[in-house]
Amino acid sequence: MTRFPLRKVRLRSGEEHREAIPIELEPFELGGQRYLPVPQEVPAELRVTQATSGLVLGIGFVVRLHGPCMRCLADAVAELTVEASEYHDSRTDPAAELRSEYVVEDQLELSSWARDAIAEALPESILHAPDCKGLCPVCGKDLNLEPHEHEDSRPDPRWAALEGLREQL
């Protein structure tokens, strides 16, 4: 877990500190599937700006997640450019919503913040190709490799009552 000691940054109001820092990333769970960051440690740019009553924190990095395609389970890669910012009120009695949950005892929890920032940057679906056809809902075969259709020989019994109405019309 990567942490940054905020006490080492001494800034006056309006000043900014920038630092390149490697962040250790944890595997990411999404929809019951595991996505691995490659490499596990990414270079990031950390920005700390002193505001009147607190700190404005910023982080930026690029990450590649490797895992299964959400439609066909083939290997997929998602490359994300992540930019996140937080505000942390450093007064002794600020409102809870003005304190960043990633600042714990003057330590900035970079790995946790990066994980949550990745979650916000994810696309709707992680696919191995934009035109992925997925798996057949009947037999489970990969429709990208074996495009096919199934004949629906017997009607769904849930529609039987409507079929009787059709005959009356």
* Residues 58, 81: Cα–Cα separation, whole Å: 14
pLDDT value of residue 92 = 65
How many residues does this entry show for the chain?
169
Supply the pTM of this predicted model. 0.78
pLDDT of amino acid 121: 93
The per-residue pLDDT for 153 is 65
Q: How far is CA 8 from its chain centroid? A: 30
Q: Fill in the amino acid letter for 48.
A: V
In the DSSP assignment, the letter for residue 97 is: G
Buried b (16+ CB within 10 A) or exposed e, 93-115: eeeeeebbebbeeeebbbebbbb
At 46-94, the pLDDT tens digits run: 999 998 888 999 999 999 999 999 999 999 999 999 999 999 887 767 6
Given this model, what pLDDT does residue 71 score? 93
Q: What's the average model confidence in pLDDT over 120-135?
A: 92
Which pLDDT does position 94 carry in this prediction?
A: 62
| Across 3-12, 53-62, 88-97, 128-137, least confident range | 88-97
Confidence of residue 167 (pLDDT cuts 50, 70, 90): confident
Counting beta carbons within 10 angstroms of the beta carbon of residue 26, is it exposed (0 to 12), middle (13 to 18) or buried (19 or more)?
A: middle
Task: Indicate the SS3 state at residue 66.
Answer: strand
Q: Is 106 helix (H, G, I), strand (E, B) or coil?
A: coil
Distance CA(128)–CA(114), nearest Å, equals 24
Count the helices and strands in the chain (H runs, E runs).
2, 9
Q: Which residue has the higher pLDDT, 110 or 168?
A: 110
